[in-house]
Amino acid sequence: MAKNETSDKPAQAPLIEPGHTYGSITDKISSVVTTRKTPISWFIGFAIAFSLLMVFLSSTAYLLMKGTGIWGINVPVSWGFAIINFVWWIGIGHAGTLISAILLLLRQEWRTSINRFAEAMTLFAVAAAGMFPLLHMGRPWLFYWLMPYPNTMAMWPQFRSPLVWDVFAVSTYATVSLLFWYVGLVPDFATLRDRVNNRGAKLVYGMLSMGWRGSAIHWYRYETAYLLLAGLATPLVVSVHTVVSFDFAMGVIPGWHATIFPPYFVAGAIYAGFAMVLTLSIPLRKVYGLEDFITMRHLQNMAKVMLATGLIVVYGYMMEIFTAWYSAGEFEEAMISNRFNGPYKWVFYSLLLCNAVAPQFIWFSKVQNSVIGIFIIAMFVNVGMWLERFIIVVTSLSQDFLPSSWDTYTGTIWDWATYAGTIGLFLTLMFLFLRLLPSISIFEMRTMVVEEDKGGKES
Amino acid sequence: MELSETIKERIEGWQKRALTVGVIAAAVSVAGAFLSPAQFFQSYLVGYLFWIGIAAGSIVILSLHHLVAGGWGFTIQRILESSARTIPLMALLFIPVVLGMKDLFIWARPEVVADDLILQHKAPYLNQTFFVVRALFFFLVWSVLYFFLTKWSADQDKNGDAALSRKLQRFGGPGILLFMITMTFATIDWSMSLDPHWFSTIFGLMFIIGQGLLTLAFATIVVSGLTDDDNLAAFVKKKHFHDLGNLLLAFVSLWAYMSVSQFLIIWSGNLPEEIPWYLHRSHGGWDWLVLFVVIFHFAVPFALLLLRRNKRRANILVKIAFGIALMRLVDLFWVIAPNFHPHGISVHWLDLVAPAGIGGIWLAFFFYNLKGRALLPINDPRLSEAAAHE
């Protein structure tokens, strides 16, 4: 930083610390995978994650034996934790696609070192999200009834229901995300194939790399395919969470039926997703010593995106509250007053603290420069976005139009166990990914070396 | 580097023509105001909302540009600045809206409010005094925003102080924030409250996206006529038009996304307090107009802007941008006018003359601002970075 050309230029941390070459990048990233020694911290983390996964399996087994009655859902609140967690997880997934696809199209090079594991995060979050609607059906083995296929029962999905659109939106999203992630991995699979000594591992990476030799025509096709997939994935980021918001907004329940919901949900998803990327990348760079690649600038940029999307979410709150009064509808007004004064008011106040107040600290450069500060705010947002979905789902359902049908809702031990279990599922997959695949794109990082050099010389 | 004589003359020529059209159209509009005052105010409001869309929209696009500092932003920065500096004129042109308040807004008529419980409920917000106070507040905020955004950039032209770039960049985020909040409520006041029973939480955001789209289309049109300016010729490349085209595509898509979302949610809920808004706009000829909007405000520009070659050729992109700007006016007409003619479409000659009057005068002021400064912020250190970043 010392040889900075003009002092006036806003001082920005580099995207990759100086002194790296092609070789050092390849060594550093691939060594995480090719090393024989697995760090003890990995084992500890994996053990915790795997135990939580076992919690998931046992609570699911019990659920299949007993039925959804073991959850806290009741008659007005028929959508409890299952939907809250579904929306929470799927929202988290969105940041991965945003980073890898939209930032690629916007030519934001800083995405390079975080896109790979952000995409992995997307896949695992979608997997965790997918569990909930399946389990909430009560008879998950009949899930294929959701698909429109000719059958002897003459059953056909209700195409006017956004819940059916969800099936298409989420499955398309999962497929494209997987393809996008895999295509991006192919050149790195080849690198690993050439570097591992173990015969079995060589074979597996070799098959996964699909005969990649790095010839010009390979790269040409790769770039085209990657760009096309990025273009495909971009509208999917928007469409999935829009359809999720339609699940609520298409009905006439106060607190759900709001036209702001689609953009507000999409912003909320990206908000939660960036918080999760920060939550994962901060320990990751520390444990594996990847601070050279995931620099302060990455963390700052992500924190800024988090702040921006958080402000859109706050704009949504503001419009909801104003319109509830402006609409002069007594049910809308009652819903808002119920949020502020009702049985869940502490959840609502905590949500405001986490989502509206906490991220405002990112305005200060002192917080922007503090890894711990960013991490703490990201944790607040993770919690806050869960609470937000709780408020949306539960307050509106528990007190709707008819006071005689009102009831309160709390999650049971099984609700919490299933939720914690999906965190286990997510983390287990994440730990396996870190150990078996390059968590930072090796070949894209190599291109950064050239670009950083060029930038330095020209100015 | 100042403007060359040829460029200056060209802008002055445009300014003169705009002023001639503006003065004539304004004079005819004033005559129309005496013939049919109600119609005059209705047509005037559509025209006003169209042109303030560019003036105020420039503030938000300018803030966005300073925040991200991309090459595309530098190509149109001076155009946006000149347009944002017309805010005082727009504040002046707001006076007819205040004068016509009772003709335009039924909540401003005490005899209507007396019989309407909902309007009585809303009276603390929707009343004449507060309406004017809010409008003054909005203009105050926008004036502060445009003042600093343009002043710092002008100072930098003179003294070359690079620290001003940093200041502008820091101003971007809060600038967008303040603009979003004020413009949302301005939209509620000036457009949504025309049907005071109706409400939609996305309405303000959708309006702002429309303004951003219009502003970008306008800036694209103007810059394409000036690419032979010495500064611009050295900087502007095909790539920048490509970027502007992509931004137009993004805003067209966002606008369509929000419009469809609002429609789908209200249609599906089918509530008596919401659905009349769409019922009025889908009968008696308005249905044909909305079909026209769907095709030419979304489908056609979307398809054209997907193609790379249309975005890289300035002469084609300008035609698309022109079409988009025109469709913004049609869309505004579809949003505003059915409030006054819910039973069937009605197009008056004032609907064309009033927007032309405002536009002519506005454009003349805009071109006057434009010729005063170099067309590129040449002393901004980020400019050379953007130029090097190919």
pLDDT tens for each residue of chain A, 459 residues long: 333 333 344 456 667 777 777 777 777 777 777 777 778 888 998 999 999 999 999 999 999 999 888 998 888 888 889 999 999 999 988 888 888 777 777 777 777 778 888 888 999 999 999 999 999 988 888 888 888 888 888 888 888 888 889 889 888 988 988 998 898 888 888 888 888 888 888 888 889 988 888 888 988 998 898 888 888 888 888 888 899 999 999 988 888 999 999 999 999 999 999 999 899 889 888 887 778 788 888 888 889 889 999 999 999 999 999 999 998 888 888 888 888 998 899 999 999 999 999 999 988 888 888 889 999 999 999 999 999 999 999 998 888 888 888 888 988 999 999 999 999 999 999 989 888 888 787 777 777 776 555 544 333
Q: Do A458 and B388 touch (CB under 8 A)?
A: yes
For testing the chain B interface, which of A164, A327, A360 should be mutated: the one with the most B CBs within 10 Å? A327
Residue B271, classed as helix, strand or coil, is coil
Q: Which residues contact B271 (CB under 8 A, 6 or more apart)?
A: A252, A257
**Do B219 and B82 meet the contact criterion of CB atoms below 8 Å apart?**
no
d(CA A378, CA A309): 13
**Do B182 and B138 meet the contact criterion of CB atoms below 8 Å apart?**
yes
Q: Is the pLDDT of residue B151 over 80?
A: yes
* Residues of chain B numbered 51-110 and touching chain A (CB < 8 Å): none
Question: Looking at the partner chain, which of B166, B203, B384 has a beta carbon nearest the beta carbon of A10?
Answer: B166
* Residues of chain A numbered 1-40 and touching chain B (CB < 8 Å): 6, 8-10
What is the CB-side half-sphere exposure of residue A454 using CA atoms within 13 A? 9
pLDDT at B389: 61
Q: Do A263 and B121 touch (CB under 8 A)?
A: no
Residues of B with Cβ-Cβ distance to A257 under 8 angstroms: 265, 269, 271
CA B287 to chain centre: 25
B306: nearest CA partner in chain A: A231
Q: Do A260 and B201 touch (CB under 8 A)?
A: yes
**Quick one: pLDDT band at residue B278, thresholds 50, 70, 90?**
very high
**Average pLDDT of the segment spanning B234-248:** 86
B162: closest CA of chain A, how far (Å)? 5
**Quick one: pLDDT band at residue B1, thresholds 50, 70, 90?**
low
pLDDT at B390: 53
d(CA A55, CA A42): 20
**Do B64 and B172 meet the contact criterion of CB atoms below 8 Å apart?**
yes
Show contacts of B18-21: CB within 8 Å, 24+ apart: B18/B359, B18/B360, B18/B361, B18/B363, B18/B364, B18/B367, B19/B360, B19/B361, B19/B364, B20/B360, B21/B356, B21/B359, B21/B360
Q: Do A259 and B201 touch (CB under 8 A)?
A: yes
**Average pLDDT of the segment spanning B207-216:** 95
Q: Do B264 and A258 touch (CB under 8 A)?
A: no
**Average pLDDT of the segment spanning B67-74:** 82
- Whether A332 and chain B come into contact, CB under 8 Å, resolves to no
pLDDT at A100: 78
Tokens of B11: 């802008």
Q: Do A8 and B166 touch (CB under 8 A)?
A: yes
Q: Do A259 and B121 touch (CB under 8 A)?
A: no
- Topology adopted by domain A25-147+156-181+234-446: Formate dehydrogenase/DMSO reductase fold (1.20.1630)
Q: Do B273 and A238 touch (CB under 8 A)?
A: no
- Whether B362 and chain A come into contact, CB under 8 Å, resolves to no
pLDDT at A423: 94
**Quick one: pLDDT band at residue B374, thresholds 50, 70, 90?**
confident
Q: Is the pLDDT of residue B212 over 50?
A: yes
pLDDT at A12: 61
**Do B328 and B206 meet the contact criterion of CB atoms below 8 Å apart?**
no
A17: closest CA of chain B, how far (Å)? 20
A238: nearest CA partner in chain B: B257
- Whether A296 and chain B come into contact, CB under 8 Å, resolves to no
**Do B252 and B302 meet the contact criterion of CB atoms below 8 Å apart?**
yes
d(CA B387, CA B300): 32
Q: Which DSSP state fits A3?
A: T
A193: closest CA of chain B, how far (Å)? 34
Q: Where are the domains of chain A?
A: 25-147+156-181+234-446
**Do B142 and B53 meet the contact criterion of CB atoms below 8 Å apart?**
no
Question: Looking at the partner chain, which of B118, B257, B268 has a beta carbon nearest the beta carbon of A238?
Answer: B257
* Residues of chain A numbered 257-286 and touching chain B (CB < 8 Å): 257-263
CA angle A224, A230, A236 (to 5 degrees): 145
Residues of A with Cβ-Cβ distance to B125 under 8 angstroms: 326
A9: closest CA of chain B, how far (Å)? 7
pLDDT at A10: 45
Question: Looking at the partner chain, which of A257, A259, A315 has a beta carbon nearest the beta carbon of B261?
Answer: A259
- pTM of the prediction? 0.90
d(CA B107, CA B119): 7
Question: Looking at the partner chain, which of B203, B268, B381 has a beta carbon nearest the beta carbon of A8?
Answer: B381
Q: Do A257 and B204 touch (CB under 8 A)?
A: no
Beta-carbon count within 10 A of B1 CB = 12
* Residues of chain A numbered 181-240 and touching chain B (CB < 8 Å): 238
pLDDT at A452: 55
pLDDT digits (tens, 9 = 90+) for B5-18: 888 889 999 999 99
pLDDT at A149: 86
CA angle A449, A451, A452 (to 5 degrees): 65
**Do B85 and B369 meet the contact criterion of CB atoms below 8 Å apart?**
yes
Q: How is B131-182 classified by DSSP, letter by letter?
A: HHHHHHHHHHHHHHHHHHHHHHHHHHHHH--THHHHHHHHHHHHHHHHHHHH
Q: Which of A97, A103, A87 is nearest to A119 (CA)?
A: A97
Q: Do B273 and A458 touch (CB under 8 A)?
A: no
Residues of A with Cβ-Cβ distance to B205 under 8 angstroms: 260, 263, 315
B7: closest CA of chain A, how far (Å)? 31
- Whether B38 and chain A come into contact, CB under 8 Å, resolves to no
Q: Is the pLDDT of residue B253 over 50?
A: yes
Q: Do B166 and A315 touch (CB under 8 A)?
A: no
Higher pLDDT, B200 or A15: B200
For testing the chain A interface, which of B72, B183, B189, B201 should be mutated: the one with the most A CBs within 10 Å? B201
A161: nearest CA partner in chain B: B268
Residues of A with Cβ-Cβ distance to B164 under 8 angstroms: none
pLDDT at A453: 52
pLDDT at A39: 81
Q: Do B265 and A249 touch (CB under 8 A)?
A: yes
- Whether B295 and chain A come into contact, CB under 8 Å, resolves to no
**Average pLDDT of the segment spanning B101-109:** 91
A451: nearest CA partner in chain B: B389
Q: Is the pLDDT of residue B300 over 80?
A: yes
Beta-carbon count within 10 A of B85 CB = 24
Burial class of residue B377 in the structure, from the number of CB atoms within 10 Å of its CB (0-12 exposed, 13-18 middle, 19+ buried): buried
**Do A300 and A370 meet the contact criterion of CB atoms below 8 Å apart?**
no
pLDDT at B90: 95
Reported ipTM? 0.90
Question: Looking at the partner chain, which of A6, A246, A259 has a beta carbon nearest the beta carbon of B200?
Answer: A259
For testing the chain A interface, which of B199, B203, B246, B258 should be mutated: the one with the most A CBs within 10 Å? B199
Residues of A with Cβ-Cβ distance to B264 under 8 angstroms: 246, 250
Residues of A with Cβ-Cβ distance to B265 under 8 angstroms: 246, 249-250, 257-259, 261-262
- Whether A353 and chain B come into contact, CB under 8 Å, resolves to no
Kindly calculate the radius of gyration of chain A based on its CA atoms and give it in whole angstroms.
Answer: 23
d(CA A299, CA A374): 8
Q: Do A319 and B165 touch (CB under 8 A)?
A: no
d(CA A441, CA A410): 43
For testing the chain B interface, which of A5, A107, A243, A260 should be mutated: the one with the most B CBs within 10 Å? A260
The percentage of chain B sitting over the pLDDT mark of 70, rounded to a whole number, equals: 99
Question: Looking at the partner chain, which of A242, A319, A323 has a beta carbon nearest the beta carbon of B261?
Answer: A242
pLDDT at A450: 63
Q: Which DSSP state fits B86?
A: T
d(CA A191, CA B229): 50
Q: Which residues contact B14 (CB under 8 A, 6 or more apart)?
A: B363, B367
A235: nearest CA partner in chain B: B253
* Residues of chain A numbered 129-188 and touching chain B (CB < 8 Å): 160
